[in-house]
Chain A
Amino acid sequence: MTQPDGSFQLSVPAGSTILRVSYIGFESQEITLNGQTRLTIELKPDSRQLNELVITGYSTQNRKDIVGSIAKISGEELKNVPAASFNQLLQGKVTGVQVQSNSGVPGGGITFRIRGNNSINASVDPLYVIDGVFVSTSEPIRTGLGQQQQSNPLADINPADIESIQVLKDANATAIYGSLGANGVVIVTTKRGSLNSRAKITANVSHGWSSAIKKFKATTGPETATLVNEAVRNTAQDRGLDPTTVALPFPNPSTVPTYDRISDLFRVASTSAYDLSAQGGTAKSTYFAGFSYLKQESIVKPSDFERYTLRFNYDNYLTDKLKLGNSINVTRSFRNVSSNDNNPTGVINSAIFPRSYLPIFNEDGTYARSGSFDNHLALINNLNNQAVGWRTIGNVFAELHILPELTLRSSWSLDNTDMYENNYSNTLIAAGIATKGAATSFETKNLIFTNEQILTYIKSFGEKHRINALVGNTFNRVLNESTSASGQNFASNDLTAISVAATTTGSSGRSRATLLSFFGKASYTYDNRFTFDASLRADASSKFGADRRWGYFPSGGVAWNASHESFIEDLNVFSDLKFRASLGLSGNQNGIGPYAAQGLWSSGANYLDAAGIAPSQLENRQLTWETTRQVDIGTEFSFFKNRLSFVVDYYNKYTYDLLLNVPVPSRSGFTTYLQNYGAVRNKGVEFSIHSENFAGSDFRWSTDFNISFNQNRIEKLASDIAQGASGRNISILRQGYSVNSFQLYKQLYVDPQTGNAVYEDVNKDGLITSADRQIVGNALPRFTGGLTNTLSYKRFDLNVLFYFQQGNKIMSMHDFFLVHGGTQNFIGFIPRQLERWQKPGDVTDIPRMTTYSGDPTVNGGAANNYSGNVTNQSTRYLLDGSFIRLRNVSLSYTLPDAITRRARLSVVRAYVQIANLLTFTRYSGLDPEVNSQSNNQNTSGYDWATVPQPRTVQAGLSVTL
């Protein structure tokens, strides 16, 4: 066996003449023996197979032997896009993965789906494993932000620390992660040193400027006044009165002033990032240490995000058989939190909703307010909401090589998030006026502890047989602890601690869930041509009913490397041809409460300060795993010595025994009952091409194109579940349709003669009633994809990434509220309202202004224009959200070696990158990539006073010693 320093001892039979040395990833060598007793052999890396080692569920395998659908992204590809979190950087790079930013808030939440939404009430987030640590994706921030997900928990990892990311998509790859694997697995490996290498020190500095691509618009004072007058006149007409006798609220609209609130909202935001890392190794140990600082401002005042990370990865070979290692990441994050979206007293809402003729300040100089909105300047100047997070992700492992082919690994991991939030509302903003100051404070701890033992057996028998097997167990515990306090009535705006408030309340809670698992996997490859793979996993979760805690998840797959068959080799067409198929089950238990199966009476039903309890949850002893059965058939083939390669996959996922809050008759005293009932199907096709167009010495050009189609359908559901939009129930889940469907009244046209809107009468009873509300589209795209071009000429590199998605609809609550026809006394208008019908012959989709509410069932009657039975829930506000975006353009220049060597440096690279340079879309809102109500996975696709994503120009310098 080879020592860590490379020396070896080999006994060869007498008379042998040729020594053949080979290793995965390196070119084999044959050395003729002429009686030498000392040999030095240096293997050259096999560039063609350099990326062929793939991490698949606990072991590493040669890419040729993989039967599952696994995509790999190297850390190098991630450094081209300026974003705080790595899962955001995967957008447009991997088939089957749909990544969407919920808003443009730095460090804000993102939507990440692998092959569609599997679940309705259980989580649809994938499992993230970072250096063997199962990390938490639960939201630690508890300050309400208008139903928008408050943060992206993965933003605590510095993307520059990442060596590679593997995305496991099909059952065979994810079944070994049984629990949580049903939604896919993202395995992140951070950088580690290598033995016997000198220290490589890298420093990165960059600075960026972001600005809004499009800004909100409002009608001017005179325009608003004209519209209001028109509404009053038309309403009188609808009531049968003579419109000329009605007193208009604005006798002279042209003299009405205009106050601009929107330009106060935006700023040119700056981003700064600093990075320092050291990587290297001695004969017996390797290390990687990294430190980073990032600060990102939001283009909408006043929020921002600041982060410090520290990483230390250290491996030590105690003996030649025992290796001890660790990976530790510590992050401290600071967020200035500002609520927008579905919060009437949020900053954006307070700037776009009040009527533009209303002054921003009262005559006495105090902040003016109207309706349920706040004053946007008061908020920008006085908001004081801090969220400070302290996160530790750490892993310690020991690896023992019992035999050359048998390795035992024991790993102990911790993911600990501590989030401290302090919010203070002084008497200058709406939240603090009534109570003379209001403060809330939250302390949240999310802790995940994991212990795993894995025994791996990797052996080749001769040339023809290769076995890769493992057995293991997992113990996983999730702990949540939370405390909150609130105080009201402060003596002064300068006193912000709850301890000095006159009235204080507090509460605390704690919950814990445990997971136990045993698993095994075996893979057999025959003659480098056929691979058979099987795995089985048994999991038990404390969340489930005492009768059915254990779930069993088997899977299997085959792969045929046809390119090694003689008849294919003779064709001389394919440099690589592989067919693979897999089938398996994976389980999900994430996202339901830790005591979901128990019958409970909860405390907190207090009356007049006396403690009370009341029934809160029905027992379900039969509650068990939500299971996904997935079939994947794929092929990988390439031509011209791998210069042109294709990967095509077809998958069909059927998720059954959904963990579903099934509605039950209210007379039981409960509204829902958590059961395993329901099924969702996701099926689709993924297609990706990689092409080395040009590979010269001076000029290189490669292209990557990927496109993924996914079709989602609810196959079984007990009854419709409608929710979203603050009780308007615009999002609906119905059997036979996909999740995230919208139900609205379908507007057919606006009658050019009367100016009233005409809707589709679904049940043909001649009336417009709630029965005519129908499913008119959904928020899921039909396909998504990316096109990346990488060019390099001498010392210049250019990287261009386009991202596109098609077919998703966006419910613009922005238009819903601000095109109200005069029915809202305290809300202004947007220019779209000016397109309203005014006289016979006008053709438009915005009906006549009126507040008349009589005869609400008449189709084509005045009431249903903006109120009536339709209540303004018309398809004219459901817009097409398809777009193509030039997501990133990155140009870099690497200084010539001659210059850098004189300065005793090894690489100096300067770069400029622009994010979101161009967007092609029909969507009239600010950003077609938007998800305002993201704290509920079933209310996707709303645009509601959300911070848009900015265009960012970033310049940086990277120096390596």
Chain B
Amino acid sequence: MKRYILAAVLTASLISCDKYLDETPNNALPAATAIRDAGTARAAINGAYSRVQSYYASGYPTLGTITTDNVIFNGTLSQYLQLDQNAVTPDNAITLDVYQSIYRAINTVNSIIAYVPAINDPNLGSTEKNTILGEAYFIRALSYFDLGRAWGVGTVTTDANYYAGWTEGHQTQYAHADVRSGTG
């Protein structure tokens, strides 16, 4: 009898319990289904605006003002010192942060432009859908424009695959195209 109990216990503990290994967060959505209905579409465009706000709130204006002679920096943080003294290193924290934030905004709107048209939700009428898409195109244009203003050249990406080495001229052209799509 003992031997059977033993066998049962061992087998029970050896049965694959893979279902215990599937954990999901309660404050994030799986990327594959992040934009699938009216609610998530609206949340996504809000997220895009939030991304634009994140570089406009402090970083982008700082790049434009501390580097001029109207303002001098009198503190200890080297990332501001470098900008003030025009001795910017490749890993300057402000420059990196703005560059990365602009591309985060571009990445968010690329996903909106790719997935929102395919949404089949009665709560999302075609007017609202087009408004969302229009705002997304505009945000993309603004991001590339700001990238071009600050860096001159950059890389244009419209989806997960990216193309390399566009010049400033091409970038502005592309931004114009997006603005036209956005307002159309």
Residues in chain A within 8 A of chain B (CB atoms): 372, 402, 408, 453, 455, 473, 475, 477, 509-514, 516, 518, 540-542, 549, 594-595, 598-608, 610-619, 665-671, 722, 726-729, 770, 817, 820, 824-825, 827, 853, 856-857, 863, 867-869, 871-873
Contacts and interface: CB of A to CB of B under 8 A. Distances in A.
A934 to B, nearest CB: 21
A741 to B, nearest CB: 15
Interface stretch (B58-66, B97-105, B117-125, B171-179): B97-105
Contact of B49 (A594, A612, A770, A873): A612
20 contacts: A473-B13, A509-B27, A511-B25, A542-B21, A542-B22, A542-B23, A549-B21, A599-B32, A602-B27, A602-B29, A603-B27, A603-B28, A604-B27, A605-B47, A615-B34, A666-B100, A669-B104, A722-B91, A728-B79, A871-B82
Contact of A614 (B48, B78, B90, B154): B48
A231 to B, nearest CB: 13
B183 to A, nearest CB: 21
Interface string B28-71: 11111010000010111111111101000000000000000000
B126 interface: no
B162 A667 contact: yes
B74 interface: yes
Interface string B86-108: 11011101001001100110111
A867 B50 contact: no
B161 to A, nearest CB: 10
A820 B77 CA distance: 12
Contact of A516 (B20, B74, B78, B160): B20
Contact of B87 (A666, A727, A869): A869
B82 to A, nearest CB: 7
Given A605-B51, A668-B103, 8 more contacts: A455-B10, A540-B18, A598-B31, A601-B47, A608-B49, A610-B42, A728-B77, A869-B87
A540 B30 contact: no
Contact of B17 (A516, A602, A607): A516
Nearest to B155: A667
A770 B89 contact: yes
A612 B46 contact: yes
A518 B44 contact: no
Nearest to A725: B78
B13 A602 contact: no
A-B interface, 10 closest residue pairs, ranked by CB to CB distance from nearest: A669-B107, A599-B31, A612-B46, A614-B47, A612-B47, A601-B34, A605-B47, A770-B89, A727-B93, A605-B50
Contacts of B9: 408, 453
A600 B107 CA distance: 13
A856 B157 CA distance: 37
B87 A613 contact: no
A509 B91 contact: no
Given A595-B28, A668-B162, A770-B89, A867 B77 contact: no
Which secondary structure dominates chain B's binding surface? helix
A669 B47 contact: no
A902 to B, nearest CB: 55
B50 A612 contact: yes
A601 B35 CA distance: 9
A711 to B, nearest CB: 28
Given A595-B28, A601-B29, A601-B34, A726 B77 contact: yes
Interface of B: 2, 6, 9-10, 13-14, 17-18, 20-32, 34, 40, 42-51, 53, 74-79, 81-82, 85-87, 89-91, 93, 96, 99-100, 103-104, 106-108, 110-111, 154-155, 157, 160, 162
Nearest to B93: A727
Nearest to A614: B47
Contact of A606 (B46, B75, B100): B46
Contacts of B13: 453, 473
Contacts of A453: 9, 13
A668 B43 contact: no
B32 A670 contact: no
A607 B108 CA distance: 14
B90 to A, nearest CB: 7
Nearest to A817: B76
Contacts of B26: 509-510
A476 to B, nearest CB: 10
Contact of B30 (A594, A598, A863, A873): A598
Contacts of B154: 667
A595 B23 contact: yes
A475 B20 contact: yes
A371 to B, nearest CB: 8
A478 B54 CA distance: 33
Given A603-B27, A615-B107, A825 B74 contact: yes
Contacts of B50: 605-607, 612, 614
Residue among A510, A594, A613, A872 facing the most chain B CB atoms (10 A cut-off):
A613
B34 A514 contact: no
A669 B77 contact: no
Contact of B47 (A408, A607, A871): A607
Given A518-B14, A728-B78, A873-B78, A613 B6 contact: no
A16 to B, nearest CB: 33
Contacts of A727: 77-79, 93
A666 B27 contact: no
